[in-house]
């Protein structure tokens, strides 16, 4: 019985210690994440003053669940489509950080006497920031909605994908002691294949599932289904050889494209906070003061390398990606730490025997200490940016502050470039799906049929398997071969405007599609039949199916593609109808230093009750109000004569700095300065002839200006509550006064 309660005791110790320490940190106005880490250190095995955990291995499993929920929540807020929008910026930034820190790590490792393989592993460990730490820090500091966080999250996702490839590469190098470019290429292709497969299948199935069940699904069912899908994708990701965190992020990104995405994000917040607390406490438990004391020099060196190197390379990467200096500095300072992938890479090097044992606790110490400093570096970004604005030459500062990414995104593309892009957008998903069907047929359908139907001849089983596989592939083959949508319009336009010689590339593009379609059919046939028979069957099948496919699968293929496109854009369409102004501004102004935010007007805002013309929105704050939502009324582009009322929801547009300044002014409680904070009491007494109230009415005595109010009179057996203003007070009356004690004394 006692053994079965060990987990309960451990959780009680974790949550009680975390709760008490975070209360202290909240009172000290410090980030909660630091409180969790301190609580973990206090109950960890290295402090010893408090009772330790009885089953730390179980807590590690729970902390893994915490990582899953943190990445799931990140995916819900940062979908695949958002990743594509910041894709180039994220790739450039992540690539700059990885290259810079990898080389720096190898150089520092060489200076500290590390072996060649240890230097390579050290470079990998120092090149990955912590996704979970940054998410929590942004949560605590209220920065998740800021424009620069999109670049940070995109960079972190790319870094996590790079980490998966890096671990495969490092494992191969540790075993073979040489660079294996082929393994890296295979790992990259495998990663891209599964990401595209999951996106296409998930985007087709998941929004459809939620759309069909919307009428009968309540919040409880929504949470259970979404969490189940999250863990299902985690299981698929780990089975495919990827991290559980990647699977959680992918499912969150897919659910983010559904209409229920925001509802799911809100519903799982408490679950995320619960398991996230366990994860951050477990990080604090890894702090070993003896290791820090023993290896303080390499720890200090690596900390300096991380907190200087990552912000430097991240800021440079964001600037090279075309973002402004402000976003670059805030992004760079947000990433000044190393995270969980550093533990994984260090553990991998130790298990493979290519890295000294002491490096692992050193890396843990560096990670925990840089985690501890992360919120302070995020806060430091603003003063540092202010210092740069004063110290840099005005011309250089102006150049660095320009946002150039939009110029490239808005550049006019040639028709050929648009055609090639549309061609690849069609070809890549279809080919990934066809390869997936082919692999499923070879690895699942074939063994299943031969094991379950042993009494049926092999030829019949092969024929059935081939027919089933081709039937599943047929709508995909047709969809790949036909020209439809944007691709067809561009193709026809270029065809009409080209000469006979200029149509050669168009013919080649069509021929490639047909060649690939025939190749897939040949692959199925040759797998299940001998080559000679396969060729005969192929010719017969192509001749017989040519007209059948055109008739039967034209509508089906089109409907499949239409459903996929509708699912992918359903949230955008819903938001465009629900909030057309917000959506349009964000779409048209993306890439510029423009922040669009919905704010609620406080009743204490100094300009409440005034017309917009009397509020210095542009002069003092540099913002515009483009929409006011008041109850069920929506006022788009309000006129200067429109009033601002408490509880109005306003859509504010301006630069990031301007919106933040206006948000701060909007939340200021200016009325507190006018309030009397003295205590208010209720007191009753009998009037005598010397009282200021005797023989007078309330309207003759201005009690309110002195901070006092009469609420009742007792006269004989009668009681008069809230007496009339002209009622004369007599000596002997019992009066009840409300007000400050000093004010009441005036009327006794």
Q: Tell me what pLDDT residue 355 has.
A: 81
Distance CA 704, CA 356 (A): 79
Q: What is the reported pLDDT for 213? A: 78
- pLDDT at position 303: 92
How is the beta sheet containing 718-721 ordered, strand by strand? 681-686, 734-739, 708-715, 718-721
Cβ–Cβ contacts within 10 Å for residue 92, how many? Answer: 22
Distance of CA 348 to the CA centre of its chain: 28
End-to-end CA distance of the chain: 70
Question: Is residue 166 exposed (0-12), middle (13-18) or buried (19+ Cβ within 10 Å)?
Answer: buried
pLDDT value at position 743? 78
Element holding 682 (H helix, E strand): strand 681-686
* Whether the domain at 3-394 and the domain at 681-745 fall into the same CATH topology: no
| CB of 336 closer than 8 Å to CB of 381 | no
Architecture of domain 3-394: Up-down Bundle (1.20)
Residue 407's pLDDT is: 41
What distances in angstroms separate CA 581 from CA 32, 256, 261, 454, one per listed residue? 36, 21, 21, 64
> What pLDDT, on the 0 to 100 scale, is given for residue 719?
80
* Helices and strands in the chain, H and E counts: 29, 8
The residues spanned by each domain of the chain are 3-394, 415-578, 594-674, 681-745
Task: Divide the 748 residues of the chain into consecutive groups of 10 and give the mean pLDDT of each group.
Answer: 67 85 82 80 77 68 79 75 68 88 89 85 86 78 73 81 73 62 69 81 81 79 88 87 79 82 81 82 78 86 92 89 83 85 75 78 83 86 86 80 51 67 80 85 79 72 82 79 71 73 75 78 76 58 53 50 63 57 53 68 81 81 82 80 85 76 67 48 82 81 74 82 81 83 78
Return the CATH class of domain 594-674: alpha beta
| The pLDDT value given to residue 192 | 79
- Helix (H, G, I), strand (E, B), or coil: what is residue 627? strand
CATH H-level, domain 681-745: superfamily:
Regulator of K+ conductance, C-terminal domain (3.30.70.1450)
Cα–Cα distance between 696 and 689 in angstroms, integer? Answer: 11
Alpha carbon distance 720, 671 (integer Å): 34
Whose structure tokens read 């209409």?
259
Buried b (16+ CB within 10 A) or exposed e, 93-106: bbbbbbebbbebbb
Q: Which residues neighbour 628 within 8 Å (Cβ) at sequence distance 6 or greater?
A: 634, 635, 638, 642, 644, 648, 649, 650, 651
Cβ atoms of 401 and 325 within 8 Å: the answer is yes
Q: H helices within 180-218, ranges in order?
A: 181-213
């Amino acid at each position: 019985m006692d053994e079965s309660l060990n987990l309960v005791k451990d959780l009680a110790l974790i949550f009680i210690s975390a709760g008490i320490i975070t209360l202290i940190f909240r009172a000290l106005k410090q980030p909660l994440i630091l409180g969790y880490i301190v609580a973990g250190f206090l109950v960890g095995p290295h402090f010893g003053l408090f009772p330790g955990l009885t089953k730390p291995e179980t807590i590690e499993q729970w902390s893994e669940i915490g990582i899953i929920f943190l990445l799931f929540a990140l995916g819900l807020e940062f979908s695949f489509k958002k990743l594509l929008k910041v894709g180039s910026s994220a790739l450039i930034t992540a690539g700059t950080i990885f290259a810079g820190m990898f080389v720096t790590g190898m150089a520092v490792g060489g200076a500290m006497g590390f072996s060649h393989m240890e230097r390579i592993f050290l470079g990998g460990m120092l090149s990955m920031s912590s996704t979970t730490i940054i998410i929590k820090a942004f949560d605590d500091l209220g920065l998740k909605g800021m424009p620069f966080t999109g670049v940070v999250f995109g960079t972190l996702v790319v870094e996590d994908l790079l980490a998966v490839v890096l671990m495969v590469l490092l494992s191969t190098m540790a075993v073979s002691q040489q660079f294996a470019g082929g393994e890296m290429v295979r790992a990259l292709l495998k990663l891209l294949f599964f990401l595209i497969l999951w996106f296409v299948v998930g985007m087709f199935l998941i929004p459809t599932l939620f759309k069909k069940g919307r009428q009968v699904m309540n919040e409880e069912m929504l949470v259970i289904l979404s969490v189940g899908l999250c863990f299902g994708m985690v299981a698929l990701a780990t089975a495919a050889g990827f991290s559980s965190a990647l699977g959680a992020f992918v499912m969150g990104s897919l659910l983010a494209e559904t209409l229920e995405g925001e509802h799911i994000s809100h519903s799982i917040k408490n679950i995320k906070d619960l398991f996230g607390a366990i994860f951050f406490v477990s990080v604090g438990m890894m702090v070993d003061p003896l290791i820090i004391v023993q290896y303080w020099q390499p720890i200090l060196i690596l900390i300096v390398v991380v907190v200087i190197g990552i912000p430097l390379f991240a800021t440079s990467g964001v600037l090279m990606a075309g973002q402004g200096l402000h976003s670059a500095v805030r992004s760079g300072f947000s990433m000044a730490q190393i995270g969980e992938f550093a533990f994984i890479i260090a553990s991998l090097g130790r298990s493979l025997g290519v890295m000294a044992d002491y490096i692992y606790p050193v890396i843990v110490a560096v990670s925990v200490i840089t985690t501890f400093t992360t919120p302070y570096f995020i806060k430091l970004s603003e003063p540092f940016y202010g210092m740069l604005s004063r110290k840099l030459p005005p011309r250089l500062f102006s150049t660095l502050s320009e946002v150039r990414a939009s110029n490239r995104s808005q550049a006019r593309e040639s028709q050929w470039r648009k055609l090639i892009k549309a061609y690849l957008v069609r070809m890549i998903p279809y080919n990934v799906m066809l390869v997936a069907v082919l692999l499923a047929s070879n690895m699942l359908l074939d063994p299943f049929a031969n094991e379950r139907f042993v009494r049926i001849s092999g030829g019949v089983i092969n024929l059935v398997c081939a027919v089933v596989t081709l039937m599943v592939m047929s709508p995909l083959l047709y969809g790949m071969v036909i020209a439809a949508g944007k691709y067809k319009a561009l193709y026809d336009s270029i065809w009409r405007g080209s000469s006979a010689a200029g149509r050669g590339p168009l013919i080649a593009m069509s021929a490639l599609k047909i060649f690939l379609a025939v190749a897939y059919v040949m692959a199925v046939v040759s797998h299940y039949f001998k080559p000679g028979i396969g060729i005969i069957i192929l010719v017969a099948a192509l001749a017989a199916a040519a007209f059948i496919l055109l008739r039967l699968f034209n509508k089906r293929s089109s409907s499949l593609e239409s459903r996929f496109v509708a699912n992918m854009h359903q949230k955008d369409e819903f938001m465009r109808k629900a909030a057309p102004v917000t959506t349009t501004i964000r779409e048209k102004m993306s890439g510029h230093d423009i922040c669009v935010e919905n704010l609620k007007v406080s009743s204490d805002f100094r300009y409440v009750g005034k017309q917009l013309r009397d509020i210095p929105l542009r002069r003092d704050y540099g913002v515009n109000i483009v929409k006011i939502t008041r109850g069920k009324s929506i006022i788009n582009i309000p006129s200067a004569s429109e009033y601002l009322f408490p509880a109005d929801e306003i859509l504010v547009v301006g630069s990031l700095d301007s919106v933040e300044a206006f948000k701060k002014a909007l939340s200021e409680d200016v009325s507190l300065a006018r309030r009397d904070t003295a205590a208010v009491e209720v007191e009753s007494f009998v009037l005598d002839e010397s009282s200021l109230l005797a023989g007078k009415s309330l309207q003759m005595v201005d009690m309110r200006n002195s901070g006092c109010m009469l609420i009742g009179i007792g006269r004989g057996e009668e009681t008069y509550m809230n007496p009339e203003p002209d009622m004369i007070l007599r000596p002997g009356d019992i009066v009840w006064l409300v007000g400050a004690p000093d004010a009441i004394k005036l009327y006794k």
